[in-house]
Structure 1
Amino acid sequence: MYKFFKMTALCAALAAAGAAGAATITLDGTSLSIEDAWKIAAGEADVAIAPEAVKLLEDSHKLVMASAAKGQAVYGLTVGVGLNKDQKLFTADGKLSPEVLEASRAFNYNALRSHSAGVGEMMPVDLARLSMVVRLNTLLAGKSGAQVHVAELYRDMLNKNVTPLIPSEGSVGEADILLASHVGAVMIGEWKADVKGKVMTGADALKAAGIKPLQPEGKDALAILSNNSVAMAYAIDAARNAERIVEMTPTVYGLSLEGLNGNVAPILPQTIGARPFDGLSQTAADMRDVLKGSYLWNVDATRPLQDPLSYRVTVYGLSEARRAVKDLNDQIAVQINSTDDNPATILNADEAYRSESTQVANYFVEGNGVKGAIIPSGNFNPLPVALALQRTSIAMAHLSHYSVQRTVHLSYDQFTGLTRFLTDPSNKGHAFGAIQKSFMGLHVDNMALAQPVSLYGMPVAGEIEDTFTNLLQASKRLGSIDTNLYQIYSVEMLHAAQAVDLRRNLKNKDLKLADKTGAFYTAYRAKVPYVKADRIFTDDIRAGVDLLKNYRF
């Protein structure tokens, strides 16, 4: 139900944006921000292609066709791909005859068809569109050798809301070749696409949008299918949610500490100053800022000297999560603003080693008024992003651990000085006695999801493709941790708000929360009331998640 709603809401937004006249974002292959990528994916902006990027595409395609005419062995152009790299596709004999072009087109059509073999559910529309934005921008770096028409098709399909159905599984993280190929399948008028919420054949979708189908040739098919755009869409989405969770953590922690009547000592500048880890001091300062004006700054003879470790070391976990998310966003920015094409078509290539190596000289080509080199590469390998995702997953799992433990301690009277399971004194029922299983189960999932996945795999494609990053799996794992953390934090808020109310009712009716935690508490109580008697908590948890996703921290 959620996925259907997500797609329906987006389709409505896309239609509304089209009716209102969306803004335009110009892509050039080097300066796409994550924010702008989301705007295009959400239909809040149309896409334009920078003129200088068009020129790069034109010239790189000329270079590819010059190489084809000369009969040079180029992966995915004049010879096959994968283990079939030893199979010659055609002989040009110095010119691109109609027969040669027909052979090239036949190879391209077959490559798009044979590589469209994904599994799993179809990607949500917004993520499918996001993957297209990413690939369009990396295409504009001018290193693919594809026709300009390929880039124009990405642009027009985005602007006219033609979204190919892209399977969400079936990648080992060395380019999403079995998934991204479905975009090309629609471009040639095959497969299926979503057009403003209606699924139709690729041919009907292009016709309805007034888009001319692609006649792929040269390196077009390879440019469309051999990239990491699908996994990157999931990575960008996971990073955005992780960043949101990191942003809310000081407030969640602050209200929880107020519910506990905890000690601010672990985040004081005096204690933090003794450990000059990068970012730690600023993180502690932000946590203190959230607690500004709180009753916790006033001495209380009943307050324990030291709280459980999960309260005392959250500052470290949050600081490292911040650093991990920042590094992840930095790696994403590089990935979506550079080429991951193999081979790389490089105009006016640096001539290093050309004169002293016949092997290197063999990659260079000149013709059709352009010159450069077409060089085999490993640029399809997104390991920097995969490793950053895994590091972030581990850091977020630590936040999960701290939250779960803080919530458990809020349940026990020996730590809070309040009622057991935060039960209202008039309630003879169970209160929060059973709810611990929900967040503990989610945390167990997070512990498993945080395990590194980039090393797993088996050699494929005749053992030519013998390494992997599992970027897609790493992206989805972080996304799942994010989803679980929203719910874990929601349960912590259920406990923290209850503890604050009980503390006011039983200990100090004038208890003052910090301005920021107090505002958040008020917003929370507008959605989730005090637990006077046992009730069904499922909707309370969902309401808390909704607040966490939409509150302005």
Structure 2
Amino acid sequence: MAYGLGELLQSMMNLHEALLIQMNHSDDNPYVAIDYRPTARNSSQEQRYVIDMPDGSRGAIVPTANFDSTPFVRPMEYLLHSMGTLSVAMAQNIVRFEDPHINGGLPRFLAGSDGHGFGAVSKLAGSLLDRIQAETTLTRSSNLVVAGGQLEDVSNAGPNTARKMREALKLMYQLAAMQTLYAAQAVDLRRRDASQPLALGAVTQKLHADFRARSGMMIQDSETRTALAEAERLLKGWSP
């Protein structure tokens, strides 16, 4: 999980940097150069870009390359791939919660009493993971030149990548809601059966308390749709 989160964070930082550059460079607009000093090596065409400024300095308005969003679409695609990687770890985390051989002796399926616990809802994790993996599969593009007589403006996978990212994020919130439901149940079961108090970190304790204010521990088998919906709403607006 830690490596998946780290990769996702690094991907977000890389995309942020690429978008910052994209938004602040001239791209399809003329480039304004300050203190431009042409040399004898500049062609006569390049000499025509020079402008004499009122203060005696010289600048230039220079045509730039055409619009091509590849420099920030590629980091976007890598972020999408990182989301897919993290989703596998999230789903595996849910499965591990249910296994008494891994969870330190907690009841199978985290049942609060004699029952099936989360046995039925656990299938949802696999379904969500399949859908997330479908959305995070990278979309390849031929980088079609679409304007200027096949001279400029490159079309690529940017819009489709953004759409897939939006859909994957919706599904990952649902998967994270399952993690929250399972983790809260595991904490309560551990506290119920432990001979010593179970201490949580400050942030974890706050999340647990905020979730329990919305949805209580599952003692008897019951539907989980309401609890999952509450967890998802909480996560979308929660901060430590």
Taking every aligned residue pair, what percent have the same amino acid on both sides? Answer: 27
Match in the other structure for 1:346: 32
* Match status 1:437 vs 2:123: yes
Matched residue type, 2:132: N
Match in the other structure for 1:522: 209
Match in the other structure for 2:11: 324
Alpha carbons 1:454, 1:474 under 8 Å: kept: no
User: Cα distance, 1:512 vs. partner?
Assistant: 2.6
Question: What are the within-5 Å matches in structure 2 for residues 169-188 of structure 1?
Answer: none
Q: State the TM-score, normalized to the length of structure 1.
A: 0.38
Match in the other structure for 1:422: 110
Alpha carbons 2:49, 2:61 under 8 Å: kept: yes
Matched residue type, 1:327: N
Alpha carbons 2:84, 2:132 under 8 Å: kept: yes
User: Cα distance, 1:443 vs. partner?
Assistant: 2.1
Question: What are the within-5 Å matches in structure 2 for residues 86-97 of structure 1?
Answer: none
Question: SS of the residue aligned with 1:346?
Answer: strand
Match in the other structure for 1:391: 78
Give the superposed CA RMSD: 3.1
Alpha carbons 2:68, 2:153 under 8 Å: kept: no
- Cα 1:504–1:326 change in 2 (3 A) is same
In the TM superposition, what whole-angstrom CA distance separates every residue of 1:427-472 from its partner, at most 9, and x where no partner exists? 3xx4312223323232223223333336345454454458433223
Match in the other structure for 1:455: 141
Alpha carbons 2:31, 2:64 under 8 Å: kept: no
Match in the other structure for 2:93: 406
Matched residue type, 1:443: L
* Match status 1:496 vs 2:199: no
In the TM superposition, what whole-angstrom CA distance separates every residue of 1:501-530 from its partner, at most 9, and x where no partner exists? 222233446333233312221111111211
Question: What are the within-5 Å matches in structure 2 for residues 263-412 of structure 1?
Answer: 314-342=1-29, 344-346=30-32, 350-352=36-38, 356-361=42-47, 363=49, 373-378=60-65, 380-412=67-99
Match in the other structure for 1:32: none
Alpha carbons 1:339, 1:379 under 8 Å: kept: no
Question: SS of the residue aligned with 1:415?
Answer: coil
In the TM superposition, what whole-angstrom CA distance separates every residue of 1:18-72 from its partner, at most 9, and x where no partner exists? xxxxxxxxxxxxxxxxxxxxxxxxxxxxxxxxxxxxxxxxxxxxxxxxxxxxxxx
Question: SS of the residue aligned with 2:26?
Answer: coil
Counterparts of 1:324 and 1:479, CA distance in 2: 16
User: Cα distance, 1:414 vs. partner?
Assistant: 2.6
Q: State the TM-score, normalized to the length of structure 2.
A: 0.82
Question: SS of the residue aligned with 1:336?
Answer: helix
Counterparts of 1:523 and 1:346, CA distance in 2: 53
Long gaps (5+) in structure 2: none
In the TM superposition, what whole-angstrom CA distance separates every residue of 1:361-394 from its partner, at most 9, and x where no partner exists? 3555789xxx865544225223222122122222
Alpha carbons 1:393, 1:478 under 8 Å: kept: yes
**Aligned pair partner of 1:483 in 163, 170, 176:** 170
Counterparts of 2:159 and 2:13, CA distance in 1: 20
Counterparts of 2:8 and 2:154, CA distance in 1: 28
- Cα 1:515–1:349 change in 2 (3 A) is closer
User: Cα distance, 1:421 vs. partner?
Assistant: 1.3
